[in-house]
Structure 1
Amino acid sequence: MRYQPIDASFYIKNRAKLVEKLAPNSIAVFQSNDVLPTNADGTMKFRQNNDLFYLSGIDQEETVLVICPDFPKADMREILFIRKTDEHIAVWEGHKLTQEEATERSGIQKVNWLEDFDAVFSTLMALSENVYLNTNEHLRAAVQVETRDARFIQTCKKRYPLHTYKRAAPLMHTFRAIKEPEELAQIQKACDITNDGFKRILNVVKPGIKEYELEAEFLHEFVRQGSRGFAYEPIIASGGNACVLHYVQNNQTCQDGDLILFDVGAEYGNYNADMTRTIPVNGKFTKRQREVYEGVLRVMRTAYTILKPGVTIQEYHKEMGLVMQSELMSLGLLTQSDIDSEDKDKPAYKKYFMHGTSHHLGLDVHDVGTMYEPIHAGMVFTVEPGIYIPEEGIGIRLENNIVIQENGFLDLMGHIPINPDEIEELMSNKQ
């Protein structure tokens, strides 16, 4: 496989967390994601369901994990069902996990073929009262296709209507929000690969280069180091394109005198990095560009001191709005009159900074985790302030990934160049 997998002990530990929170006489079921179609006989690249992956480490389609901790027979308390392979599949699709390999990867001793699922599940359900089923309950999810989870919920409730059904997602959100050391190592690897991609870019950026050429440079470095590629659709936005928050066309020519904003990150082992840097196309910031850049950097460094245990994301974002408001006034973009006359539901600072400063990061780029309860040590967040001035053709965002600690934080991207003097020096010393 491309990446170095986490040891099975990590997944054993994760399943133990879940078992501890299940009601008595419960069964929990986790499904893999589907292989999604494109057109004709084409399919998209497979991406595993993150909850199943978090509990098993299995990165293969047509997989089901069943946990039934109170079942009388000990060897039936956790069962992994995987796709049965044969010579035909091996020829056309390549190697699929054997039962022994699935045990080694997950730490689950009982691995059955998926074709056995209905019969085994019926036995388990006969002695279970509560059924935990999983859904995508991310606050920003917009699910427009029927998932494997959704189909199973329908068939399970139809076949077993008298059981008590419960939601697995709130439990999974709680577990996944606080990262274990093994997860931090994977995220750090993704950040390290992202760093190498960015340093590669600093050597090739010049007036006249296409945004998509820079995208290709990142992708080359990411894949070369065992990543499957970008953690999300990359934003390579030069000039005024940087004022479009989700600009992903990446099809324009980088012009002399403009800035270029990179919002990119590598994935590694299904964990993600999320970095943003803004650099001058010609290697030298103008006076105004540097002025705005340093303003964003000051806001970023202030955010580090506010984002800490005990604070809620809502409180943090409110305070960061005031920090940004002060910075925009210093830059001559807002006046006291603008502040005094603002709509309280749409603060004046949002004209130039219209998104949040931080989000959870992990197996999902916008990872699961509460937005309303206090932050805890072990959570990983982005810190990504930005100032966007369309009338000046300036869009600057800076973003690092940090681990919240009891006292302070660990910057997983502290080694990635961000100081404007360092950026200019590296760009002037192209190899």
Structure 2
Amino acid sequence: MKYDLIDRQLFIKNRKGFMDAMKPNSLAVFNSNDIYPIGADSTMPFQQNRDLFYLSGVDQEESILVLFPDCPKAKHREILFLKETNEHIAVWEGEKLTKEKALEVSGVETVYWLQEWNKVFYELMTQAETIYINTNEHYRANVETETREARFNKKIKEQYPAHSVAKSNPILQRLRSVKDPIELDIMQQACNITEKGFKRVLQFTKPGVMEYEIEAEFMHEFLRNRSKGFAYTPIVASGNNANVLHYVVNNAECKAGDLILLDIGAEYANYSSDMTRTIPVSGRFTDRQKEVYNAVLRVKKEATKMLTPGTLWGPYHEEVGKLMTSELLGLGLLDKVDVQNENKDWPAYKKYFMHGTSHHIGLDTHDYGLLHEPMQANNVFTVEPGIYIPEEGFGIRLEDDVVIQENGEPFNLMRNIPLEVEEIEDWMNR
């Protein structure tokens, strides 16, 4: 792994939090992700199952974590099963976790090789009454490929039909949404890498560059700072391309006078950052571009102030909608008749700002979190209002990642990334 070793106390704490929420005499199983094939002997780069990583820090394929807090054998209350390494694997694939290294990474003292799985797991299941299976229940999930976890869940329910089945996901949704200080430090590192990439791009951008060249500048800076790369598919959208919310082809020329919407974030140690900035190709905003930019910025600043403990998801977005409506009226994009006659299920402002303002962020860019519960300290949210005006040939979105504080305004993990019009122009014209 490119990143520095994470303090295993994080994973020890995470496992304790999960086990404290389990039913009596139950065990939970977490599987690593598959390495997915592309064709011939090609594969996609490995990405660890975020729940397994959250609970163990193990970042390699063919790994299994078992938690059984009430197990009669003390050594079987936490177990890692790993692919056994050998000299052949070391030559062809590189270093894999040894039992000693797995303890150093995870804090799990009992480590078996996978070849012992069937024997040990059968013994565990004779002692347990309930098994927790892990499913992806994120509100945006759209899973068409059968995962290693899904195959395991299907098999277990067939092999052990007399056991009760419980879900890990509700526990993980709650635990993962509240970040530990160690996690916040890692996320700060991801944001710092994003900052370096953005400042590089500010001095690189000029009329005639291609969107994919800007993408390459970010990637260069991310990799040289120990990131695997982008936390999600990057958006480099110049001109009217910014009015396509998920524009990812990044293949157009950046032309003089246009704006570029950059929705890009670095990952670090599997944690995401998520930044959006909008910059002028020529290094200066026009008066109209500046007018719209500052309207978006005002909404962003006011929305950020609302992210405090106790805030409810639905009312928060309703209040942001009111702020945006006021700004759109001021910009002449809406009039009072539009607002008076609006459909309450799709308010007038949605014509120019059609997406949500905030989402949880952490190990996943759209991270776990219970949207029906009040916000609480150490939740981390994006704040990302935008105004999209196809008839004027540009769209503007601004986004930072912020940590909700027990008292006071959220702490901005992207506080050092240029945001104000004057900052952007200064960096581009140095």
Which TM class, normalised by the smaller chain length? over 0.9
Deviations 1:364-401 (A, max 9, x none): 00000011110000100000000000000110000000
Deviations 1:190-211 (A, max 9, x none): 0000000000001110000000
In structure 1, what residue type is equivalent to 2:50?
Answer: N
Matching residue of 1:180 = 180
After superposition, residues 14-25 of structure 1 pair within 5 angstroms as 14-25=14-25
Counterpart-to-counterpart distance in 2, 1:80 and 1:49: 15
Aligned length: 429
Counterpart-to-counterpart distance in 2, 1:414 and 1:87: 47
Question: Secondary structure in 2 aligned to 1:30?
Answer: strand
Q: Shift in Å at residue 154 of structure 1?
A: 1.1
1:51 aligns with 2:43: no
In structure 1, what residue type is equivalent to 2:424?
Answer: I
Matching residue of 1:168 = 168
Question: Secondary structure in 1 aligned to 2:365?
Answer: coil
Q: Shift in Å at residue 231 of structure 1?
A: 0.3
Counterpart-to-counterpart distance in 1, 2:9 and 2:425: 45
Counterpart-to-counterpart distance in 2, 1:142 and 1:61: 22
Matching residue of 2:426 = 425
Matching residue of 1:126 = 126
In structure 1, what residue type is equivalent to 2:429?
Answer: S
Matching residue of 2:263 = 263
In structure 2, what residue type is equivalent to 1:340?
Answer: Q
After superposition, residues 20-419 of structure 1 pair within 5 angstroms as 20-407=20-407, 408-419=409-420
In structure 2, what residue type is equivalent to 1:362?
Answer: G
Q: Shift in Å at residue 88 of structure 1?
A: 2.1
Q: Shift in Å at residue 170 of structure 1?
A: 0.5
In structure 2, what residue type is equivalent to 1:143?
Answer: V
Question: Secondary structure in 2 aligned to 1:203?
Answer: helix
Q: Shift in Å at residue 40 of structure 1?
A: 1.3
Moved >3 Å (runs of 4+): none
Q: Shift in Å at residue 115 of structure 1?
A: 1.2
Counterpart-to-counterpart distance in 2, 1:274 and 1:85: 36
Counterpart-to-counterpart distance in 1, 2:118 and 2:206: 60
Counterpart-to-counterpart distance in 1, 2:313 and 2:220: 36
Q: Shift in Å at residue 69 of structure 1?
A: 0.9
Question: Secondary structure in 2 aligned to 1:2?
Answer: coil
Counterpart-to-counterpart distance in 2, 1:38 and 1:117: 29
Tell which deviates more after alignment, 309-318 or 45-54: 309-318
Counterpart-to-counterpart distance in 2, 1:179 and 1:223: 25
- TM-score, length-scaled by structure 2: 0.99
Counterpart-to-counterpart distance in 2, 1:175 and 1:237: 35
Counterpart-to-counterpart distance in 1, 2:197 and 2:405: 28
Counterpart-to-counterpart distance in 2, 1:370 and 1:318: 18
Structure 2: tracts of 5 or more residues without a match:
none
In structure 2, what residue type is equivalent to 1:413?
Answer: M
Q: Shift in Å at residue 87 of structure 1?
A: 2.2
Question: Secondary structure in 2 aligned to 1:112?
Answer: strand
Counterpart-to-counterpart distance in 1, 2:5 and 2:348: 47
- Root-mean-square deviation (CA, aligned residues, Å) is 0.7
Question: Secondary structure in 2 aligned to 1:81?
Answer: strand
Tell which deviates more after alignment, 136-145 or 90-99: 90-99
Counterpart-to-counterpart distance in 2, 1:108 and 1:191: 30
Counterpart-to-counterpart distance in 2, 1:51 and 1:66: 12
Q: Shift in Å at residue 76 of structure 1?
A: 1.1
Question: Secondary structure in 1 aligned to 2:252?
Answer: coil
Q: Shift in Å at residue 261 of structure 1?
A: 0.7
Matching residue of 1:6 = 6
Q: Shift in Å at residue 344 of structure 1?
A: 1.5
Counterpart-to-counterpart distance in 1, 2:323 and 2:307: 13
In structure 1, what residue type is equivalent to 2:213?
Answer: E
How many percent of aligned residue pairs carry the same amino acid? 58
